[in-house]
């Protein structure tokens, strides 16, 4: 509750409708922190499950520390919600989850580097295999361990990044030769899923279907076929769902806008992360003052400024210098001058009540005013994924 709020007497309240109370964020003893809503992560996961229906397994992607939401807490929440699979990028991320007691299957999507293979198997992580040479190598390691090892095989259907480009016959032969490996999953990744002006996704789906059919003809039926990240789920590209989907962005509450004539979205998700910073200093400067590195900003009137205890080392994009905004007690306050490493200056002339130690919102909402990662990305000339992943590890994480 706002300390400075004026409590109207009951009689008066019955006659007058009080002006909307500005929402003030709770101050916490940190320079900068994110508040992650476990409930919203869970709600987003459920929304995805409902959208794809019970026949499609949902494997949330928690790579890059769960897009900086905190992989351990997010993974525990998802496991509680019934997730049977999680996907990470590398072995180290998988080990961190195992050490935290996460018991789901864990798919490691972008590793199998020579120095990670033994640990991957020791920690019961499931590798994505990107080449037939690696498939043979996994088979050799499995033979040494005298066990059958499971993997998912990635097909490069046209993205031109990771994955096997061979034809189905060659792939089928390699799988049959790797007798100690069970290829339980067959996957691919789209390069242009959100671009409905391009036929690339449809072409990739065709290539994938051709490979899957070719393998089937050779008696090989991986039980899990998966192609879709957030966008093909959200815009209902159902033939790309198959038996499993791999949403990342949507788990955190985001769906990027599509290009061209996209079908109506079927997914309602909301951001789960709010990013705040403490006010380190408040001061008045006269008209004409230069603000920050390079004198990038000149006050055209007397101004009240607040210096925030967060800068580009915390993940505030430097490109927001002189163009971004934050929320101060439910009002937009512009960033003035250069964002510096540990500090950012804002114009709080419109918020004379702001004091040292108060909290402002860098990303999130207060009352009716909100700033999300997509808006920040647009101003900073980047993508929302990069804004989220850019929130530095030194920014404290709080779970609500």
Q: What is the dihedral of CA 60, 63, 64, 70, to 10 degrees?
A: 50
Place of tokens 């006010």: 279
Q: Does the footprint of ligand PLP cover residue 343 (CB under 6 A)?
A: no
The binder of ligand PLP chosen from 32, 139, 204, 229 (CB under 6 A): 229
Judged by DSSP in three states, 198 sits in coil
Q: Does the footprint of ligand PLP cover residue 324 (CB under 6 A)?
A: no
Residue with Cβ nearer ligand PLP (109 or 186): 109
Write the DSSP symbol of residue 164. Answer: B
Q: Does the footprint of ligand PLP cover residue 248 (CB under 6 A)?
A: yes
> Buried (b) or exposed (e) across 346-381, using 16+ Cβ within 10 A?
bbbeebeebeeebbbbbbbbbeebebbbbebbebbe
Q: Does the footprint of ligand PLP cover residue 247 (CB under 6 A)?
A: yes
Q: How far is the CB of 390 from ligand PLP (least distance, A)?
A: 15
Pair 38, 382: CB distance under 8 Å: no
Q: Does the footprint of ligand PLP cover residue 311 (CB under 6 A)?
A: no
Residues 38-77: x where in contact with ligand PLP by CB under 6 A, - otherwise, as a string: -----------------------x-x--------------
Q: Which stretch binds ligand PLP (CB under 6 A): 117-125, 240-248, 297-305, 326-334?
A: 240-248
Q: Does the footprint of ligand PLP cover residue 335 (CB under 6 A)?
A: no
Tell how many helices (H) and how many strands (E) occur in the chain. Answer: 12, 19
Which one from 239, 283, 293, 378 is the annotated catalytic residue?
A: 293
Q: Does the footprint of ligand PLP cover residue 246 (CB under 6 A)?
A: yes
Q: How far is the CB of 255 from ligand PLP (least distance, A)?
A: 9
Which one from 30, 63, 67, 254 is the annotated catalytic residue?
A: 63
331 is catalytic: no
Q: Does the footprint of ligand PLP cover residue 109 (CB under 6 A)?
A: yes
Rounded CA Rg of the chain: 25
Q: Could you give the CA distance from residue 159 to residue 200 in angstroms, rounded to a whole number?
A: 9
293 is catalytic: yes
Q: Does the footprint of ligand PLP cover residue 230 (CB under 6 A)?
A: yes
Is 243 exposed, middle or buried (CB count within 10 Å of its CB: 0-12, 13-18, 19+)?
A: middle
Q: Does the footprint of ligand PLP cover residue 201 (CB under 6 A)?
A: no
Instruction: Tell me which residues in 141-200 interact with ligand PLP (CB under 6 A).
Output: 189
Pair 201, 237: CB distance under 8 Å: yes
Total residues contacting ligand PLP by CB under 6 A comes to: 11
Judged by DSSP in three states, 343 sits in coil
Q: What is the dihedral of CA 329, 27, 303, 330, to 10 degrees?
A: -10
Helical residues (DSSP H) of 146-293, grouped into ranges: 168-177, 200-217, 230-234
Q: Which stretch binds ligand PLP (CB under 6 A): 241-249, 308-316, 338-346, 351-359?
A: 241-249
Is 215 exposed, middle or buried (CB count within 10 Å of its CB: 0-12, 13-18, 19+)?
A: buried
The binder of ligand PLP chosen from 249, 274, 308, 310 (CB under 6 A): 249
Nearest residue to ligand PLP on Cβ basis: 248
Active site residues: 63, 293
Interface residues with ligand PLP (CB under 6 A) are 61, 63, 109, 189, 229-230, 246-250
């Amino acid at each position: 509750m706002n300390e400075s709020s004026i409590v109207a007497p009951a009689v008066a309240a019955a006659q007058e409708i009080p002006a909307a109370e500005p929402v003030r964020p709770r101050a916490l003893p940190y320079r900068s922190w994110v508040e992650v809503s476990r409930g919203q992560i869970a709600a987003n996961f459920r929304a995805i499950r409902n959208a794809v229906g019970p026949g499609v397994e949902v494997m949330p992607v928690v790579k890059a520390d769960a897009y900086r939401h905190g992989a351990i807490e997010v993974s525990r929440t998802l496991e509680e919600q019934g997730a049977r699979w999680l996907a990470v990028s590398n072995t180290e991320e998988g080990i961190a989850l195992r050490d935290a007691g996460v018991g789901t299957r864990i798919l490691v999507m972008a590793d199998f580097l020579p120095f990670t293979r033994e640990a991957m198997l020791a920690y019961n992580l499931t590798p994505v295999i990107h080449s037939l040479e690696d498939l043979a190598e996994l088979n050799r390691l499995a033979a040494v361990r005298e066990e059958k090892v499971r993997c998912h095989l990635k097909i490069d259907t046209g993205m031109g990044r990771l994955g096997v480009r061979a034809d189905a016959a060659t792939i089928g032969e390699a799988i049959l030769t790797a007798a100690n490996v069970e290829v339980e999953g067959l996957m691919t990744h789209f390069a242009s899923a959100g671009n409905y002006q391009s036929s690339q996704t449809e072409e990739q789906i065709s290539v994938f279907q051709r490979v899957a059919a070719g393998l089937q003809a050779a008696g090989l039926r991986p039980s899990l076929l998966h192609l879709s990240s957030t966008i093909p789920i959200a815009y209902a590209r159902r033939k790309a769902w198959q038996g499993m989907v791999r949403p990342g962005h949507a788990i955190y509450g985001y769906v990027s806008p599509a290009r061209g004539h996209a079908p109506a979205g079927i997914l309602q998700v909301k951001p789960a992360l709010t990013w705040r910073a403490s006010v380190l200093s408040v001061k008045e400067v006269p008209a004409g003052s230069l603000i920050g590195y390079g004198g990038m900003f000149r006050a055209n009137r007397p101004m009240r400024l607040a210096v925030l205890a967060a800068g580009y080392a915390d993940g505030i994009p430097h490109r927001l210098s002189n163009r971004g905004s934050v929320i101060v007690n439910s009002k937009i306050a512009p960033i003035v001058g250069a964002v510096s490493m540990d500090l950012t200056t804002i114009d709080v002339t419109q918020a004379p009540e702001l004091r040292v130690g108060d909290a402002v919102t860098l990303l999130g909402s207060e009352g009716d005013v909100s700033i999300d990662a997509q808006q920040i990305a647009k101003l900073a000339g980047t993508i929302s994924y990069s804004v989220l992943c850019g929130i530095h590890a030194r920014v404290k994480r709080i779970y609500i």
